[in-house]
Amino acid sequence: MSTYEWVKPLERIMNRPLAVLTVKPSEWKAAAEGAEACSEPYTDGGLKAGAWIEHEGKLWMIAEPGQKGLTVLEMDARDLEAKDKDLISWSLNHASIGLKAGDQGASESEKLAFKLGEWLQKQLEAEEPVYSLPDHLTVGSRLYHDMIPFLLVAEQSSVKQDVYPELEKLLRSFLSDDILLIPLKSREWLIWGPMSLLKDEDSDMHELAEEETLEDSLASIAIGLHEMLASEWLGECHLAVTHPVSPAKGMVEAAITMRETIHLGRKFHVGTNIHLPWMLQLERLLNAIPESNRSKYLEQSLKRADLFVEAEMLSTLDTFFSLDCNVSETAKKLYIHRNTLLYRLDKLKQETGLDVRQFRDAVLVKIILLLYKVTKRN
């Protein structure tokens, strides 16, 4: 279990808030020298998981020793019984031995990825997250180069915790050796792909710039990646992609954007698995409106006609809007005669007074549909 996952249950057991700090060995040494009590006398290089000191009314206990920094658990020392301290100390020490045994099979990149994941998860849960990676996590210069961020959320309950090596290998063979896979929550991963995925040696870059936007290229890579993951891995999954950024500077922001994107995509577009932040602008705006206001507006709108909620009308309007209100293309896509489509649109106009061939009314109907889809499931 990673740091952040066991802190919350421990907080409940101890019935007091806990904080996870990164403490330099020198700071520990200084605190140990002025400590009111400690598990063992301080010795250089002798720090191990479970060692604790009490100073200024706080208990510090080492969760994970390290050369550059110690991961320390901080809690209020008041009313803490000796046996409680002994028990946590013993648990941390044994967990650390277990981690070391488990670590032996893990590669350096995997260890770093897990550390990044823990740090990132902490920032995502924090009220005021730190947006730049701390120095000890930015190994070399690799994380300072722009990369393409993807957020992957697997659906299947059969996805196991120890899937990391398999997924990393698959992504390396599909995207490039130069990827970074960071585990977040269970069944959630942040993937960083190289910028080379956007380059096309076959065509003139100038020509490319005219033909395809960056968003188009990102979407097409996401579609390909989703297809590969669905068919060559474990089945259905949700995938978001956002604009390239350097992981060192933009990791937290990219993760926040993509989590929100997947949340909005799943909420407003059930059945869609690839979620693009630039396609969900209206949804983001609507989501910010308080639920009660949304329901009230929808209730008033739907009073005007039940027609909106008919499956045939819903699919007709969805297709019509997805094809930029093009009547011929919509009729073709729906396998219906153009006149049948016009009849349906006229019927809607007759019953609701809204003509979706007019921009103004089309916007209103689009909003009603989006709100209806969310409310229907609530």
Partner 1 sequence: MAGVRLEGIYKKYPGSDKASVTDVNLDIQDKEFLVLVGPSGCGKSTTLRMIAGLEEISEGKLFIGDRLVNDVAPKDRDIAMVFQSYALYPHMNVYQNMAFGLKLRKFKKADIDKRVREAAKILDIEHLLDRKPKALSGGQRQRVALGRAIVREPQVFLMDEPLSNLDAKLRGQMRAEISKLTKRLETTTIYVTHDQIEAMTMGDRIVVMKDGFIQQTDSPEQLYNNPKNIFVAGFIGAPSMNFISGTLSEQSGAVRFKAPGVDVAVPEGKAATLRSKGYIGKEVIMGVRPEDIHEEPVFLEASPNSIVNANVEVAENLGHEMYLYLNGIGSDTVIARVDGRSAIRDGASVKLALDMNKVHLFDKETELNIFEN
Q: How far are the Cα atoms of 156, 224, 245 from residue 171, in angstroms, in the given order?
A: 18, 12, 19
Q: What are phi and psi of 33, to 5 degrees?
A: -65, -30
CA 172/CA 177 separation, integer angstroms: 5
Closer to partner 1 by Cβ: residue 13 or 270: 270
Closer to partner 1 by Cβ: residue 40 or 312: 312
CB of 76 to partner 1, least distance (A): 40
Closer to partner 1 by Cβ: residue 33 or 200: 200
Closer to partner 1 by Cβ: residue 206 or 360: 206
Q: What share of the chain is helix, strand, coil (3-state, %, to 5)?
A: 55, 15, 30
Q: Which residues pair with 240 in a beta bridge?
A: 151, 275
Closest-CA residue to 318 (of 378, 264, 266, 268)? 268
CA 79/CA 81 separation, integer angstroms: 6
CB of 6 to partner 1, least distance (A): 28
CB of 262 to partner 1, least distance (A): 17
CB of 152 to partner 1, least distance (A): 15
Which residues have CB under 8 Å from 30's CB, separation 6+? none
Closer to partner 1 by Cβ: residue 224 or 353: 224
Residues engaged in binding partner 1 (CB under 8 A): 155-158, 170, 173-175, 197, 200, 202-203, 212, 217, 220-221, 223-224, 226-228, 230-236, 311, 315, 333, 335, 377
Q: Which residues pair with 71 in a beta bridge?
A: 22, 64
Q: How far are the Cα atoms of 148, 241, 248, 375 from residue 218, in angstroms, in the given order?
A: 8, 7, 20, 31
CB of 170 to partner 1, least distance (A): 7
CB of 258 to partner 1, least distance (A): 20
Closer to partner 1 by Cβ: residue 26 or 158: 158
